[in-house]
Amino acid sequence: MKKILVTRRLLRSNEDKLKNLYDVNLNLNDELYSQDKLIELSQGCDGILSALTDKLDEETINKLPDSVKILSNFAVGFGNIDLEAAKKRNIAVTNTPEVLTDATAEIGILLILGACRRASEGIEGARESNWKWSADYLIGKQLTGARLGILGMGRIGQKIAHVARSLGMIIHYHNRSKLSGDKEQGATYHETLESLLSVSDVLSVCCPASKETVNLINKDALEKLPKGAVVTNVARGDIVDDEALINALDRRKVYAVGLDVYKGEPNLNPGYMKHKSAFILPHLGSATKETRTAMANLAIDNLTEFFDTGGCKNKVN
């Protein structure tokens, strides 16, 4: 029986499934393993079911035992893994695409609504019972008629566009390539990021993380937005330059932000805390029972497919 190291706690049904298939080393306390401990625990293992919180860089991968042949990442993203280093060690890397589209898009819409309609300030006022209605109390930005710029029109971006369109938003997008008409659904394509930014009353960052997208939304990019734009991020924290975005909030170049991801998670840049208009969530994109169950099942299925066939349709390296 193959031996699998599971680096983070999964839902019980998923852990039971694993135990029926493999000799598993579960993380019952949901401890965030150090790289040294991860290497130690992987001794004698045939595969690792990893999480985004695991830093599997070149140094760590090079110290993994030769027995490890697959890293099945419990996420659609894989920015925590050095793919080239894994490839050199002949270690397959897999992810869990498609199953978290709906849940993440829901959070993307929540970020847009929360930032535009000043939800953080409203929640604070309601809890402290210190609000008083007036005609101009917590006036926010209405979505109807606003231009939504989507950076990265993949599955999640397309689902956000679909819901936002029903709210009366006008959809623009920038992607590596133009979509077919049936996927665009009337959205306007922009060949350059600069062009997209110039028409984005609300910017929704949905693109995959890569070396090329680190700090893609930086000071220069933010200057190209209309004054008073709203910036949301449901993708990865590294895509946004926090200091530049906070500075844009300070100068009121940016009206509000909605973030489900940010650099240094869970440690939030304290500059955001100065702004009541910052609507920030703790990486809830895939946090529904249905989605987390489906993600873990797919990560397990990736292991099984790899061990049975030597390959996997969700292999990313």
Rounded Cα–Cα distance for residues 199 and 70 (Å): 44
Same domain for 80 and 223, yes or no, is no
Query: What pLDDT is stored for residue 117 in this prediction?
Result: 98
Is residue 247 in some structural domain? yes
Rounded Cα–Cα distance for residues 164 and 232 (Å): 13
Catalytic pick among 58, 184, 243, 265: 265
Same domain for 95 and 105, yes or no, is no
Inter-residue contact 160 to 206 (CB < 8 Å): yes
Same domain for 50 and 188, yes or no, is no
Catalytic pick among 8, 118, 190, 236: 236
Helix or strand run (H / E) with residue 157? helix 155-166
Mean of all residue pLDDT scores within the chain: 97
Same domain for 81 and 181, yes or no, is no
What pTM value is reported for the model?
0.92
Same domain for 8 and 138, yes or no, is no
List, for residues 128-145, the tens digit of each pLDDT value: 999 999 999 999 999 999
To the nearest whole percent, how much of the chain has pLDDT over 90?
97
For the segment 13-21, the average pLDDT, to the nearest whole number, is 98
Is there a catalytic annotation at residue 12?
Answer: no
Same domain for 93 and 113, yes or no, is no
Is residue 261 in some structural domain? yes
Rounded Cα–Cα distance for residues 51 and 6 (Å): 9
At residue 86's C-alpha, the angle toward residues 81 and 87, to 5°, is 130
Instruction: Indicate if the pLDDT at residue 253 is higher than 90.
Output: yes
pLDDT interval class at 79 (50, 70, 90): confident
Domain of 135, CATH number, reads 3.40.50.720
Place of tokens 């419990």: 74
Is residue 315 in some structural domain? no
Which structural domain, as residue segments, surrounds residue 13? 3-99+288-309
List, for residues 207-243, the tens digit of each pLDDT value: 988 889 999 999 999 999 999 999 999 999 999 999 9
Catalytic pick among 117, 172, 283, 292: 283
- Integer-rounded Cα Rg, in Å, for the chain is 21
For the segment 26-34, the average pLDDT, to the nearest whole number, is 96
For the segment 271-292, the average pLDDT, to the nearest whole number, is 97
Instruction: Indicate if the pLDDT at residue 118 is higher than 90.
Output: yes
Distances (CA, A) of 58 to 82, 89, 263, 315: 6, 10, 21, 18
Instruction: Indicate if the pLDDT at residue 283 is higher than 90.
Output: yes
Instruction: Indicate if the pLDDT at residue 5 is higher than 90.
Output: yes
Is there a catalytic annotation at residue 190?
Answer: no
Is residue 108 in some structural domain? yes
Same domain for 93 and 109, yes or no, is no
Question: Which residue from 156, 95, 48 is spatially nearest to 298, judged by alpha carbons?
Answer: 95
Rounded Cα–Cα distance for residues 298 and 99 (Å): 8
Same domain for 169 and 224, yes or no, is yes
Inter-residue contact 259 to 120 (CB < 8 Å): no
Same domain for 197 and 91, yes or no, is no
Question: Which residue from 54, 47, 53 is spatially nearest to 23, judged by alpha carbons?
Answer: 47
Query: What pLDDT is stored for residue 211 in this prediction?
Result: 85
Instruction: Indicate if the pLDDT at residue 77 is higher than 90.
Output: no
Same domain for 218 and 181, yes or no, is yes
Instruction: Indicate if the pLDDT at residue 275 is higher than 90.
Output: yes
Question: Which residue from 94, 48, 59, 13 is spatially nearest to 297, judged by alpha carbons?
Answer: 13
Query: What pLDDT is stored for residue 32 in this prediction?
Result: 95
Inter-residue contact 141 to 230 (CB < 8 Å): yes
Inter-residue contact 248 to 271 (CB < 8 Å): no
Same domain for 63 and 149, yes or no, is no
Place of tokens 């589209």: 101
Give me the sheet containing 188-189, strands edge to edge: 188-189, 170-174, 147-151, 202-205, 229-233, 254-259, 278-280
Inter-residue contact 317 to 83 (CB < 8 Å): yes
Is there a catalytic annotation at residue 236?
Answer: yes
Is residue 7 in some structural domain? yes
Is residue 90 in some structural domain? yes
Rounded Cα–Cα distance for residues 67 and 61 (Å): 12
Is residue 152 in some structural domain? yes
Q: Specify the number of domains making up the chain.
A: 2
Same domain for 93 and 239, yes or no, is no
Instruction: Indicate if the pLDDT at residue 248 is higher than 90.
Output: yes
Is residue 26 in some structural domain? yes
